[in-house]
Structure 1
Amino acid sequence: MGKPTGFMEYDRKDNKAVEPLERIKNFNEFHTPMSDKDRATQAARCMNCGVPFCQSGMMINGMASGCPLNNLVPEWNDLLFHGNLEKALQMLRQTNNFPEFTSRVCPALCEAACTCGLNGEPVSCKANENAIIEYGYANGLMKAKPPKVRTGKKVAIVGSGPSGLAAADQLNKRGHDVTVYERNDHIGGLLMYGIPNMKLEKWVIDRKQKVMEEEGIHFIVNTNVGKDVKAETLLKEYDSVILCCGASHPRDIKAPGREAQGIYFAVDFLTRSTKHVLTGKKEGWVDTKGKNVVVIGGGDTGNDCVGTAVRQGAKSVVQIEMMPKLPDQRAANNPWPEWPRVCKTDYGQEEAIAVYGKDPRIYQATVKEFIADKNGVLKKVKLVKLEPKKDPKTGRMNMTEIQGSEFELPADYVLIAAGFLGTEDYIAKAFKVKLNARTNVETKPGKYQTSVDKIFTAGDMHRGQSLVVWGINEGRHVAREVDEKLMGYTNLP
């Protein structure tokens, strides 16, 4: 333990963010790393607890507490404090295949469970992680290390999101010949097109892809397995197939007028925006400049839509949330180390406040009707206010409409960010795998083998819509199961 009293001597400091009115002028990442000395001071705040919940990854009351990857947070914080970043990098990479991704886009479950956060501010684990991995790249420590021995076994992975990439990375290290199929023109899944550039610049993905290719992993893009390539072909050519296609079936809103022009799923809007940012091409681009935008959904994706529309120069942006506003501080029934169910004003909402002068969120409301003009072009949305009421039969609280509370908002574009419902039908049918009641691919509890021999699954396709860290976790676990199936044993971590 480098600084036993560090958590009492030093206050938490974060990397400085560019001011909202300045950062919305582009789609670049907008946090400036602090000096090495200041970063070491932040690492000194880690008290190396006797019971470090930051790395527990346990579920408490249905919510994750601590890192699902079981990152050795106290150990690499201590090494960062002492200036031994090379060893810290080794420690970090023992559990996390992609710190360059998680240190940018993860909501930092480790910090939410940090013991320092019980009575003060948690340790800045996420920014510390970023400092370690970027040190590795800057100092030539992230060069490719191909396996010295190949097993002769071939594995196909369908989908190149976090779970698919993690599985590929692990299985390649073991010496298997791994090929990853991706239906888009770039690898990364939602990392590439579901997360906007200001949260994760895409050169970060390209940089990692280059290393993985040099290590022997094959990537085939613009290839939609189940349509362009038959499932039978993969089963014939490979010893195992892993399905990591995500939970990419978006939840729709079935309200009158849904067919109006100007209504998009959030993932389609964000994908088109990122492609425009990367190429400058306007083909298929949804340009919200000078338009009234309504975002339906209050999660991270909804916030990303707000930040994107603000950067495009929208006339107004409103974000609709069905549920009541969460408290600003932890409630008594939400104690540490549970995930804190508190109101969070994220970067997109901060920017909307700076531009439009008010918080874009309207709570306890939902769409009643989409209203179009005579040409079928969206012009307004009719909303209705909601209130929580307990169901007398089940005892559950449901959000119910308040009679006579309807109101309208101008809307040239509506972006639906209401989450995802599970696996897309065509890929499940192509491989003849069973789905469960949540339309995720069915496996035995805690396992990754599907109902079909040789076929495994992981990530959102297996567990439902989730976080990048859970995707990496699943990718590592499915790699172990596939390796054991192929070799009779496994030595993968």
Structure 2
Amino acid sequence: MGKTTGFLEYDRIDGPVRAEEDRIKDFKEFHEALPLTKQREQASRCMNCGIPFCQAGELISGMVSGCPLNNLVPEVNDLVYRGRMEEAYKRLSVTHSFPEFTSRVCPALCEAACTCGYQDGSVSTKENEKAVIEYAYANNLVEEITPSVRTGKKVAVIGSGPSGLATAQLLNRRGHDVTVYERRDRVGGLLRYGIPNMKLDKSLIDRRVKLMEEAGVTFKVNVDVGKDITASELKKEYDSIVLACGASNPRDIKAPGREAKGIRFAVDFLTEVTKTLLDSDFEKVPTNLAKDKDVIIIGGGDTGNDCC
């Protein structure tokens, strides 16, 4: 499987990024793809290890090592190397609902567990995955399964974030009638409002949701379950209810001066900025949020950097 000497012949090369002077002018994604020929070379670096730690989502000392989805990483990499992209997509789809999302925002635990990474840089599995799913979309290979027989069972999914979307997709494939409730004005949850457009273009969410709607999933936005509709009402209408409402309550800190004005929670801030941009088709920039102000961000992880 794969090219036996691939990891010896090719160094790891990541896709280019847009120049800073260009990307500060808009809110488009700034990570670009390698040409497919170069991506195939990167996929050839996969060694098909006897024990592929990359695909085994194991909990070690309280930390996850490898892909939590158990994606068939060596097999997909091998098919990319051989240029068999349609087969690579089908293999990836065995375990994965939305590669277009994870190939952009996943922390790539597969790469962290890659044996090749101990010496010459891990295999660029994340970018290989992105190449596969974008090839599939470009060649009309992506389609949601429309069940030929319906069970007659109705399921309500509360929340349209990644877990809610995946739940709706799989339940619909099994023939149930699925309705997804979202309290905000657009589908996507954290994908939509918690991740900036420069990392995950929102058109990717719309692209997938359209396919799900065509396959029979119903989406209802601007419905706050518990306020606009009660749990009792849902229980009367549906056979089952799935809670996928996320963890939107922020973790506060107890520090002197916490009650001062101008202190914002990160996800609330990102939501406000993203909604303003979406409502104006990325024309109106909410500069009043931080213009002419000295800003301190507590926390240097992905969310803190997104706020920057």
Q: TM-score, normalised by structure 1?
A: 0.60
Q: Report the structure, 1 or 2, having the larger strand content.
A: 1
**Gap change, CA 1:175 and 1:22, over 3 Å in 2:** same
**Gap change, CA 1:126 and 1:6, over 3 Å in 2:** same
- Native 8 Å contact 1:157 1:180 kept in 2: yes
2:179 maps to 179
Matches within 5 A, 1:209-224: 209-224=209-224
Structure 2 counterpart SS, 1:180? strand
What is the rounded CA distance, in whole Å, between the counterparts of 2:255 and 2:51 in structure 1? 50
**Structure 1 residue 282: Cα displacement:** 6.2
Structure 2 counterpart SS, 1:31? coil
- Native 8 Å contact 2:27 2:198 kept in 1: yes
- 1:76-105 deviation digits (Å, cap 9, x = unpaired): 111111111001000001101000000010
Matches within 5 A, 1:49-60: 49-60=49-60
**Gap change, CA 1:17 and 1:282, over 3 Å in 2:** closer
Query: May I ask how many residue pairs the two structures share in their alignment?
Result: 306
- 1:357-383 deviation digits (Å, cap 9, x = unpaired): xxxxxxxxxxxxxxxxxxxxxxxxxxx
- Native 8 Å contact 1:273 1:285 kept in 2: no
- Native 8 Å contact 1:272 1:286 kept in 2: no
- Native 8 Å contact 2:277 2:285 kept in 1: no
What is the rounded CA distance, in whole Å, between the counterparts of 1:198 and 1:139 in structure 2? 24
Structure 2 counterpart SS, 1:157? strand
**Structure 1 residue 286: Cα displacement:** 5.3
1:430 maps to none
Structure 2 counterpart SS, 1:292? coil
- Native 8 Å contact 1:182 1:220 kept in 2: yes
1:298 maps to 300
Structure 2 counterpart SS, 1:241? strand
Structure 1: which amino acid aligns with 2:220? I
2:141 maps to 141
- Native 8 Å contact 1:66 1:112 kept in 2: yes
1:258 maps to 258
Structure 1 counterpart SS, 2:133? helix
- Native 8 Å contact 1:269 1:286 kept in 2: no
Q: Could you tell which deviates more after superposition, 187-196 or 281-290? A: 281-290
- The answer on 1:123 being equivalent to 2:135 is no
**Structure 1 residue 214: Cα displacement:** 0.4
1:28 maps to 28
**What CA RMSD, in Å, does the superposition of the two structures yield over aligned residues?**
1.5
Identity among equivalent pairs (%): 63
- Native 8 Å contact 1:156 1:242 kept in 2: yes
Q: Report the structure, 1 or 2, having the larger helix content.
A: 2
What is the rounded CA distance, in whole Å, between the counterparts of 1:31 and 1:188 in structure 2? 21
Structure 1: which amino acid aligns with 2:299? G
**Structure 1 residue 19: Cα displacement:** 2.9
Q: TM-score, normalised by structure 2?
A: 0.96
What is the rounded CA distance, in whole Å, between the counterparts of 2:119 and 2:272 in structure 1? 43
**Structure 1 residue 279: Cα displacement:** 2.1
What is the rounded CA distance, in whole Å, between the counterparts of 2:200 and 2:7 in structure 1? 30
1:362 maps to none
- Native 8 Å contact 2:11 2:120 kept in 1: no
Structure 2: which amino acid aligns with 1:81? Y
What is the rounded CA distance, in whole Å, between the counterparts of 2:292 and 2:6 in structure 1? 50
2:101 maps to 101
**Gap change, CA 1:237 and 1:283, over 3 Å in 2:** farther
**Structure 1 residue 32: Cα displacement:** 1.7
What is the rounded CA distance, in whole Å, between the counterparts of 2:19 and 2:112 in structure 1? 25
**Gap change, CA 1:283 and 1:48, over 3 Å in 2:** closer
2:198 maps to 198
- Native 8 Å contact 1:53 1:110 kept in 2: yes
**Structure 1 residue 171: Cα displacement:** 0.6
Matches within 5 A, 1:45-84: 45-84=45-84
Structure 2 counterpart SS, 1:59? strand
Moved over 6 A (4+): 281-285
Gaps of 5+ in 2: none
2:3 maps to 3
What is the rounded CA distance, in whole Å, between the counterparts of 1:32 and 1:193 in structure 2? 22
- Native 8 Å contact 1:97 1:166 kept in 2: yes
Gaps of 5+ in 1: 307-493
Larger Rg: 1
**Structure 1 residue 28: Cα displacement:** 1.0
